[in-house]
Amino acid sequence: MDFPTFVFFFLSAILIFASLRVITARNPVHAALHLILAFFTCGGIWSLLQAEFLAIAIILVYVGAVMVLFLFVVMMLDINIDRIRQGFWQYLPLGALLGFLMVAEMGLVLGSKYFQVPAADAVLPAGISNTKSIGALMFSDYVYPFELASIILLVGMIAAIVLTYRGAKQSKYTSPSRQVFVKAKDRVRVLQMPVEKD
């Protein structure tokens, strides 16, 4: 076994362990941390395949941004894990059967001999990193979908603001200039009231 194969099996073992822990951990924070480990290991396997751009992207985007957000949500919300797990064993046989059937059906239809994308196309000449070639493609051939994606993000931002912004908060600050000009009769009103008897 040469060194890359050893690294692959080593990383795969960690990945499988981490993925299993994601769904078996009782503590949601532990589950989220294991998911981070899974993403990180996945990035390692991708860089083994010389897809270093994807490897960096998954670590920056998923580990750096998405999972941190996830952790915040998990820590903020008080999730009752036992309620979620109620009836797990009851539904397991049916769920497992349906899942297995779907995997089997798709596997039968999508047997790999049907697909015609040649694997060799993915090999780049030496000296050109795939980050650079993805960048070049993105800003030349794929510039139109790239810009469209940016417009979609802009719409997402507009939508989020429209749906949540309710006008500026009324902060309780004092305005010295208005305080100076206040007259006593603006603030104090003297009322004539008869004495109440009980």
Binding site for another protein (CB under 8 A): 109-110, 114-118, 128, 132-133, 136, 140-145, 148-149, 151-152, 154-156, 158-159, 161-163
Cβ proximity to another protein: between 69 and 147 the closer is 147
Cβ proximity to another protein: between 54 and 134 the closer is 134
Q: What gap in Å lies between CA 17 and CA 35, rounded to an integer?
A: 10
- State the minimum distance, in angstroms, from the CB of residue 68 to another protein: 24
Cβ proximity to another protein: between 114 and 173 the closer is 114
- State the minimum distance, in angstroms, from the CB of residue 162 to another protein: 5
- State the minimum distance, in angstroms, from the CB of residue 140 to another protein: 5
Cβ proximity to another protein: between 95 and 156 the closer is 156
Q: Which of 33, 32, 35, 30 is nearest to 19 (CA)?
A: 35
Tokens standing for 1?
Answer: 């076994």
What DSSP line would sit under 89-149, residue for residue? HHHHHHHHHHHHHHHHHHHHHT-GGG----GGGGPPPTT--HHHHHHHHHHTTTHHHHHHH
